[in-house]
């Protein structure tokens, strides 16, 4: 290598100072790569072409609502669909290109990787959003447009986009396209239903003090969801010696507490908004906890072995599905407590037995783990657990729909027979609501199902459980 080429090299390497050293390496890499992709360029050109068309339509027919619809349709498409879709392969592409291991060998941990990818996609989203601002201003001068409302709407779409992007990035940690597809679609349905429910309550309570409470609630869901799904992706790509579980589970419990607090502050009766939101938050965190791989590394468990209090927290905050079972217990108690509290504060006279319906709903979450422990013990704690969990949930969902159809045409004794033969939590849940059946049976069956669902995985993995307790009780 002669001196000239060394000088050339230095010039070349200095070009790499285009991004500050303080920026996340992943953000720099993703921006460099992302802005070169065809999808980014095409989406950008299309967006501006459509914006120009909208503007021309608005100019030719001022006050026409069609151009307004078209305007928002394009923005929503880009920010709520195209941008999140780009996150769908964010982490799995690292597996496909065999670069995930190389990243692990650096100082980047899973969290910095997912956060960097999310920030890069959002930075590009902000670029999109900022580039349409001139059109917003021109539309304002053309009349019939409330600039502030438009800006708020754009902000809300931005929050939605950030959350949706976090979800797709989090799910992209699964290399299998089917698993991430099902996970993304499931979450999209769950969050859309939740969003629709909260929006409806928000509209019904428009103008009241509750409106603020709901707005805070939306922000809380957005912030928690974004954090959680990024942490979810991070934990799934990280080496097992990294502990992401504690922060994830604590964040879920914190979000539950905040949601509960908002309920106290603003009051949501008569609709049980906060228990429903709490159940969704805890459901997501519990499914994640129950499908985490099981590393019992002394180093990970050690911080919890200091004293009895830390040991107690370690029981449900350490990584792995074993502690996930204890987290399920904590989550179930939190949910039931929030329901009881809502019941008492709203004076809605919730039937005590209705709590059993919620308990049965909780059983739905843990039931697949019992099945995996019984029939696929070698998969327990492996990276396939999540896929298997989804598959079992899908099969149970299918069976439940069929049973429901059968029950609708069956008579009393046949109904009982069907429920007895298929004691699935989901089946039990709607069987319990069937007035023809004796509630006392369910007072016994549902808690028993809970105990079985918790007990089977613990008994089947007693060696790991013993090791877990040994690590937890081992002083430093």
Partner 1 sequence: MSDLPEDETNQTQGEKIVNTPKPSDPPAIEVTHLTRSFSGIQAVNNISFEISRGQVVGFVGANGAGKTTTMRILATLDYPNSGEVKVCGINVVDYPAEVRRKIGWMPDNYGTYQNMTVVEYLDFFARALGYQGQERINRIVEVMEFTDLASLADRLIDKLSKGMGQRLCLGRALLHDPEVLVLDEPAAGLDPKARVELKHLIRILAEDGKTVFISSHILSELDEMCDSLLFINEGKIIHHGSSENLRKKKSSTCLVEVQLKDPPEKLKEWASLAPGVTFRDSTKRGGRIEVEPAADEDIAQVLRRMISDGLSIIDFHQEERKLEDAFIEILGEIEESSTLGVS
User: Residues in the site for partner 1, rule: CB under 8 A?
Assistant: 1, 5-6, 8-10, 12-17, 21-22, 25-26, 28-29, 32-33, 36-37, 97-108, 239-241, 295, 297-299, 378, 382
To partner 1, the closest distance from the beta carbon of 98 in angstroms equals: 4
Helix 245-266 with 210-237: angle, nearest 10 deg: 170
- For partner 1, the closer of residues 103 and 331 by Cβ is 103
To partner 1, the closest distance from the beta carbon of 353 in angstroms equals: 44
- For partner 1, the closer of residues 19 and 216 by Cβ is 19
- For partner 1, the closer of residues 113 and 429 by Cβ is 113
To partner 1, the closest distance from the beta carbon of 461 in angstroms equals: 15
Residue labelled with tokens 């805890």: 282
- For partner 1, the closer of residues 243 and 400 by Cβ is 243
Residue labelled with tokens 């108690």: 333
To partner 1, the closest distance from the beta carbon of 96 in angstroms equals: 10
The span from the CA of 221 to the CA of 79, in Å, is 18
To partner 1, the closest distance from the beta carbon of 383 in angstroms equals: 11
8 A C-beta contact, residue 201 and residue 139? no
- For partner 1, the closer of residues 100 and 325 by Cβ is 100
Q: Classify residue 270 by its DSSP letter.
A: T
- For partner 1, the closer of residues 105 and 440 by Cβ is 105
To partner 1, the closest distance from the beta carbon of 107 in angstroms equals: 5
Residue labelled with tokens 């769908």: 88
To partner 1, the closest distance from the beta carbon of 34 in angstroms equals: 8
To partner 1, the closest distance from the beta carbon of 238 in angstroms equals: 10
To partner 1, the closest distance from the beta carbon of 178 in angstroms equals: 20
Using DSSP's 3-state secondary structure scheme, residue 105 falls into: coil
Tell me how far the alpha carbon of residue 127 is from its chain's centroid. Answer: 25
Per-state percent for the chain, helix, strand, coil, to nearest 5: 80, 0, 20
- For partner 1, the closer of residues 240 and 458 by Cβ is 240
Helix 385-409 with 354-375: angle, nearest 10 deg: 130
To partner 1, the closest distance from the beta carbon of 99 in angstroms equals: 3
The span from the CA of 202 to the CA of 206, in Å, is 6
- For partner 1, the closer of residues 201 and 296 by Cβ is 296
The span from the CA of 257 to the CA of 255, in Å, is 5
CA dihedral 412, 416, 417, 419 (to 10 degrees): 140
- For partner 1, the closer of residues 6 and 345 by Cβ is 6
What tokens does 334 get?
């939190």
Neighbours of 413 (CB within 10 A): 9
Whole-number Cα distances in Å, 237 to 130, 231, 284, 325, 327? 32, 10, 18, 22, 22
CA dihedral 205, 208, 213, 214 (to 10 degrees): 30
The span from the CA of 90 to the CA of 170, in Å, is 9
- For partner 1, the closer of residues 103 and 454 by Cβ is 103
What tokens does 239 get?
């080496």
């Amino acid at each position: 290598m002669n001196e000239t080429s060394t000088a050339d090299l230095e010039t070349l390497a200095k070009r790499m100072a285009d991004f500050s050293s303080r920026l996340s390496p992943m953000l720099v890499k993703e921006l460099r790569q992302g802005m070169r992709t065809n999808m980014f360029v095409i989406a950008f050109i299309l967006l501006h072409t459509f914006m120009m068309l909208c503007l021309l339509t608005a100019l030719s027919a001022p006050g026409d609502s069609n151009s307004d619809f078209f305007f928002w349709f394009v923005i929503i498409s880009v920010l709520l669909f195209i941008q999140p879709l780009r996150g769908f392969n964010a982490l799995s592409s690292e597996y496909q290109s065999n670069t995930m291991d190389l990243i692990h060998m650096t100082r980047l941990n899973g969290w910095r990787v997912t956060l960097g990818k999310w920030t890069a996609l959002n930075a590009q989203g902000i670029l999109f959003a900022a580039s349409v601002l001139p059109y917003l201003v021109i539309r304002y001068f053309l009349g019939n447009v409330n600039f502030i409302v438009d800006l708020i709407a754009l902000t809300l779409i931005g929050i939605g986009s950030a959350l949706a992007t976090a979800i797709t990035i989090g799910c992209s940690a699964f290399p299998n396209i089917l698993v991430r597809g099902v996970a993304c679609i499931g979450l999209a349905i769950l969050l859309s239903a939740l969003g629709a429910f909260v929006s409806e309550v928000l509209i019904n309570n428009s103008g009241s003090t509750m409106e603020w409470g709901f707005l805070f609630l939306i922000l809380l869901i957005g912030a928690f969801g974004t954090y959680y799904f990024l942490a979810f992706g991070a934990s799934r790509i990280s080496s097992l010696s990294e502990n992401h579980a504690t922060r994830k589970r604590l964040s879920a419990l914190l979000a539950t507490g905040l949601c509960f607090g908002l309920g106290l502050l603003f009051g949501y009766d008569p609709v049980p908004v906060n228990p429903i939101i709490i159940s969704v938050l805890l459901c997501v965190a519990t499914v994640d906890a129950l499908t985490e791989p099981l590393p019992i590394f002394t180093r990970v468990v050690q911080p919890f072995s200091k004293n009895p209090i830390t040991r107690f927290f370690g029981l449900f905050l350490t990584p792995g599905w074993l502690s996930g079972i204890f987290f399920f217990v904590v989550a179930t108690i939190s949910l039931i407590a929030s329901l009881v509290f809502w019941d008492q504060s709203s004076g809605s006279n919730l039937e005590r037995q209705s709590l059993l319906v919620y308990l049965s709903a909780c059983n739905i979450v843990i039931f697949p783990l019992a099945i995996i422990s019984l029939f696929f013990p070698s998969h327990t704690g492996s990276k396939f657990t999540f896929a298997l969990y989804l598959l079992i949930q899908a099969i149970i969902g299918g069976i439940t729909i069929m049973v429901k159809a059968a029950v609708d045409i069956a008579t009393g004794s046949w109904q009982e027979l069907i429920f007895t033969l298929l004691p699935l939590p989901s089946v039990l849940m709607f069987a319990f609501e069937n007035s023809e059946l004796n509630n006392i049976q369910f007072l016994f069956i549902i808690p028993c199902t809970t105990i079985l669902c918790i007990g089977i995985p613990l008994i089947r993995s007693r060696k790991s459980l013993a090791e877990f307790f040994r690590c937890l009780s081992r002083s430093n």
